Amino acid sequence: MEYHLALIGYPIKHSLSPWIHNKFLDKAGLRGSYKLHEFDQASSFEENIKLLKRKKYDGFNVTVPYKQEIIPYLDEVDPIADKMGAVNTVVNKHGKWVGYNTDGVGYVRSLEAAYPEALLNQDCRILLIGAGGAARGIYCALRDRGFSRIDIANRTQTSASDILELQADHGNCTVLSIQEAEKALKDYDIVIQTTSVGMRPNSKDSIIQVANVKDKGIFSDIIYQPLKTEFLSQAEAAGAPIHFGHTMLLYQAQYAFEKWTDKKVSLNNMAEELKLLLE
Ligand code: ATR
């Protein structure tokens, strides 16, 4: 079979997804293509969806600003994506559109690839900074993997509390202010920065000042532009192992590709190659 895959969103001209998925097709020895299908801003969303249906893609990714808007047009939504209220991957199953969200699992896979031992101890304490879409996905994926000591720090604390509500059982998870989290950094085995603070062009900003860190406590940022954020630079200077955001991009794509093709491709040196493209 030949796979016709695409990305929908706007604007998407600079997306790295075609580079990633066309490599995956190659690696998996499959025929097909992954194209950019930018939504026409002069037409309505419905008209864009009609055109998309006619294309009969076998699968597509959904990016900003349509991750929520696509949901009413799907025939089925996977429980995690439903909980998150956002879909980034759609599989065309015999004409029916089924929606998934691969961000959370992708993030956890990327962390596990870099620090396999970090995910062995389900008792470890995790701090999630931020409470947007990415944080929701990562929280659900970590809870699914059995972690139950996850604290969430956010400027708007009600959004952090809403994330805890995604699971009936809150485990030992609590909500913190950013200031409280800053003071408590050395209590955490893994600290994950998911806000947009520090993203280019505001690369000098950091949501939190990192000074005291736990011995072997890992610091991770999902921002990949710049690759080494101010948050990661401070963590590194404090002696912490760090984890870069571009790998999440690769692993969420790996999981999406698996949903479309049933094949799990290995990434080999793609993280290094992507790093060079981003630098
Ligand atoms: P995404 O869905 O990509 O994760 P988002 O929903 O816009 O993005 O979430 C952005 C996150 O960055 C939120 O946690 C947001 O905090 P609030 O919930 O308080 O808005 C955080 N954020 C963005 N700009 C911020 C700033 N200047 N200071 C503190 N937090 C900020």
The 10s digit of each residue's pLDDT in 190-213 is: 999 999 999 999 999 999 999 999
**Over residues 62-79, mean pLDDT:** 97
Nearest to 173 by CA among 139, 146, 140, 149: 149
Amino acid at 149: R
pLDDT over 90 (residue 176): yes
ipTM over 0.90: yes
Are 177 and 157 in contact by the 8 Å Cβ rule? The answer is: yes
For residue 160, is pLDDT > 90? yes
pLDDT tier for residue 177 given thresholds of 50, 70 and 90:
very high
Residues near 216 by beta carbon (within 8 Å), at least 6 away in sequence:
189, 241
Instruction: Calculate mean pLDDT across residues 45-72.
Output: 98
Ligand 1 in contact with 195 (CB < 6 A)?
yes
Residue 265: pLDDT over 90: yes
The model's pTM: 0.96
Q: What average pLDDT does range 259-268 have in this prediction?
A: 97
Helix or strand (DSSP H, E) at 194: none
- Between CA 235 and CA 213 the distance in angstroms is 8
Using the mean position of ligand 1's atoms as its centre, give its distance from the Cα of residue 272 in Å: 28
Catalytically annotated residues: 67
Are 2-101+247-278 and 104-244 in the same CATH fold?
A: yes
Report the distance separating Cα 112 and Cα 134, nearest Å: 17
Question: Which residues have CB under 8 Å from 36's CB, separation 6+?
Answer: 6, 7, 12, 13, 15, 18
Listed by start position, the domains of the chain span 2-101+247-278, 104-244
Domain topology for 104-244: Rossmann fold (3.40.50)
**pLDDT value for 125:** 98
Give the model's pLDDT for residue 11. Answer: 98
Ligand 1 touching residue 133 (CB < 6 A) = yes
Of 155, 208, 225, the one to substitute when testing ligand 1's pocket (max ligand atoms within 8 A of C-beta) is 155
104 lines ligand 1 (CB under 6 A): no
**Is 188 labelled as part of a ligand binding site?**
no
Predicted confidence band of residue 279 (pLDDT cuts 50, 70, 90): confident
CA angle (69 as vertex; 65, 73 as ends), nearest 5? 140
Q: What's residue 275's pLDDT?
A: 94
CA distances from 244 to 49, 61, 184, 197, 227 (A): 35, 22, 22, 15, 6
Contact (CB, 8 A) for 216 and 241: yes
Q: What is the mean pLDDT of the chain?
A: 97
pLDDT tens digits for range 209-241: 999 999 999 999 999 999 999 999 999 999 999
Q: Class for domain 2-101+247-278, per CATH?
A: alpha beta
Residue 163, pLDDT > 90, answer yes
Cα 262 to averaged position of ligand 1 atoms, centre (Å): 34
Long-range contacts, stretch 25-29, CB < 8 angstroms, 24+ apart: 27/265, 27/266, 27/268, 28/257, 28/261, 28/263, 28/265
Distance 48 CA to ligand 1 centre (A): 29
Tens of pLDDT, residue by residue over 100-152, are 999 999 999 999 999 999 999 999 999 999 999 999 999 999 999 999 999 99
- Report whether residue 134 contacts ligand 1, using a CB cutoff of 6 Å: yes
Rounded CA gap, 255 and 278, in Å? 22
User: Which ligand 1 atom sits closest to the C-alpha of 178?
Assistant: 29
Cβ of 154 closer than 6 Å to ligand 1, yes or no, is yes
C-alpha–C-alpha distance, residues 119 and 121, integer Å = 6
